[in-house]
Amino acid sequence: MFTKILIANRGEVAVRVIRACKEMGIETVAVYSEADADALHVVMADESYCIGGPLSRDSYLNMDSLVTLAKRTGVSAIHPGYGMLAENADFAKMCEDNGIAFIGPSPEVMRQMGQKEIARRIAESAGVPVTPGSGTLADVAEAEAAAESIGFPVILKARAGGGGRGISVVRSREEIAGAFDAVRKEAMSAFGDDGIFLERYLESVKHIEVQLLADAAGAVVILGDRDCSVQRRNQKLIEECPAPALSENLRRAMYEAAASLAKAVGYTTVGTVEFLVQGETFYFMEMNTRLQVEHSVTEMVCGIDIVEWQIRTAAGVTIPFSQEEIVGGKHAIECRICAEDAKSMMPQAGRVEMLHVPGGVDVRFDSALYQNCTVTPYYDSMLGKLVVCADTRDGAIRKMKCALSEFVLVGVANNRELHMRFLEDGEFVGGRYDTGICRRVL
- How many CB atoms sit inside 10 A of residue 91's CB? 23
Q: Residue 101 and residue 204: Cα distance in Å, rounded?
A: 41
Compute the CA torsion angle 404, 410, 411, 416 (nearest 10 deg). 20
Distance, in Å, from the CA atom of 163 to the CA atom of 323, rounded to the nearest integer, reads: 29
439 assigned to active site? no
The pairing of strands 101-102 and 206-214 is unpaired
Q: How far apart are CA 358 and CA 405, in angstroms?
A: 9
Q: Which of 226, 290, 312, 336 is catalytic?
A: 290
Name the burial class of residue 181, with classes exposed (0-12), middle (13-18) and buried (19+) by CB atoms within 10 angstroms of its CB.
exposed
Chain-centre distance for alpha carbon 93 = 21
Amino acid identity, position 396: A
Q: What is the DSSP secondary-structure string of 14-47?
A: HHHHHHHHHHHT-EEEEEE-GGGTT-HHHHHSSE
| Residues listed for the chain | 442
Cite the beta strand spans of 163-301 per DSSP E. 165-170, 196-200, 206-214, 220-232, 235-241, 269-278, 281-288
In contact, 165 and 190? CB cutoff 8 Å: yes
What's the count of helices (H) and strands (E) in the chain, helices before strands? 15, 20
Contact 215, 223 (CB under 8 A): no
Report CA-CA distances (Å) from 65 to 12, 41, 57, 82, 350.
22, 19, 11, 19, 29
Rounded Cα–Cα distance for residues 189 and 178 (Å): 17
Active site residues per annotation: 290
